[in-house]
Amino acid sequence: MSGGGGKGIESLKSYISVADFEARAIDLLPKAVRDYYQSGADDESTVARNKSAFRKYLIRPRVLVDVQNLDTKVKISFNPRESYTFEYPLGIAPTAFHRMAHPQGELATSMAASQTNTLMICSTLSTTKLEDVAQAASINAYLWFQLYVYRDRRITENLVSRAIASGYQALVLTVDAPMMGRRRADERNGFELPGHLKMENFDVELLARTFKGKEGASGFGEYVKNMFDLTLNWDDLRWLVEYSKIPVIVKGIVRGCDAIKALEAGARGIIVSNHGGRQIESTVSTIEALPEVVEAVNGRCSVFVDGGIRSGSDIFKCIALGADMVFIGRPIIYGLSVGGVEGVKHVIQILRTEFEYAMRLSGISSIHQLRTVPRMVVHQNYYSSSKL
């Protein structure tokens, strides 16, 4: 039950949108695998809302602005002495099981990230050891490590220590998954990790393999239910901040009040995320939640966002609404499925190109302008307001 990945560099020229990669990936991947990557919680309304909500936010272009030269660089700072500069405000979100999509899996993703100066967040549930992911990247690569907290705290401590030793620059604690949401497609398919793969960050078989799936029950869901810590709370975040020697970023926040609590507990960044719509039905989309979190944080740390981003104009909207950077998940998997390293690089380039188009055609020449021009992006309700 492995993925695709047989396309050559020349053949990728015909792929000019993320949707092109998605359509081909759906053809290449076995049903249980593509359903795992694409599905969401329950009726999947949150997955749909993540994407559809972007259409409710409108760009208000400026005209007669010199946009010959663009400044797309972003600087992410954890403190005055620790900052990183990226060519574009676009990173790779943590997603599990990349080797289901392509034989090289996370190695290919890491190489593509380093070759494009793109920040990558490696998942705890990687099908490649975190050390090997780091080694596959160049010396100047930017890697963060996404962390799930297991019931046995020693497992978590081991992951943190290994990530620090391997050169990861930050930890990304996922806080919206004390257990996995009900993903009906996985339950129907009896999803389990294919037999030739395992979660390589673990040596013990019980931890390295999902439970055995069966019709009506997801083996992965049962694994999470039995292994992850359901008691995870703010004290645990404070413990992790104290235990870790690198900054801790909190992923999975959609409320301003929770962002403030995360900051008070020592978090150095917030990722506005609803787990790609895979956790809970009928929840807020991430672009809808973003302004509230940005307002609550009020510049005290970087704010990131993921979920439903499929185009450069989506990225444009997120940055205009206050995000410092966006992360993409499924589009990377689609690129990986179709073309391995080059497929991932091609998806990144498509989104960068679309972002540049959005900037120029909106009369914006720099990230600073995008963040500071008033009402560059507004909700559609702006045009039904009685104040106009």
Q: Are 289 and 304 in contact (CB under 8 A)?
A: no
**Which residues line the annotated binding site for glyoxylate?**
36, 148, 183, 275, 278
Q: Are 354 and 125 in contact (CB under 8 A)?
A: no
Q: Are 89 and 72 in contact (CB under 8 A)?
A: yes
Distance CA(357)–CA(228), nearest Å, equals: 43
Q: Is 346 a catalytic residue?
A: no
Q: Closest Cα to residue 371, out of 381, 383, 379, 359?
A: 359
Distance CA(96)–CA(105), nearest Å, equals: 10
**Which residues line the annotated binding site for FMN?**
94-96, 123, 146, 174, 251, 273, 306-310, 329-330
Beta pairing partners, 77:
83
Contacts for 296 with CB less than 8 Å, ≥ 6 apart? 256, 257, 259, 260
Contacts for 320 with CB less than 8 Å, ≥ 6 apart? 59, 370, 371, 373, 376, 377
**Which residue of the set 98, 275, 346, 379 is catalytic?**
275
Reduced to 3 states (helix: H, G, I; strand: E, B; else coil), residue 83 is: strand
**Which residues line the annotated binding site?**
36, 94-96, 123, 146, 148, 174, 183, 251, 273, 275, 278, 306-310, 329-330
Distance CA(139)–CA(123), nearest Å, equals: 20
Maximum C-alpha span of the chain:
63
Which residues carry out catalysis?
275
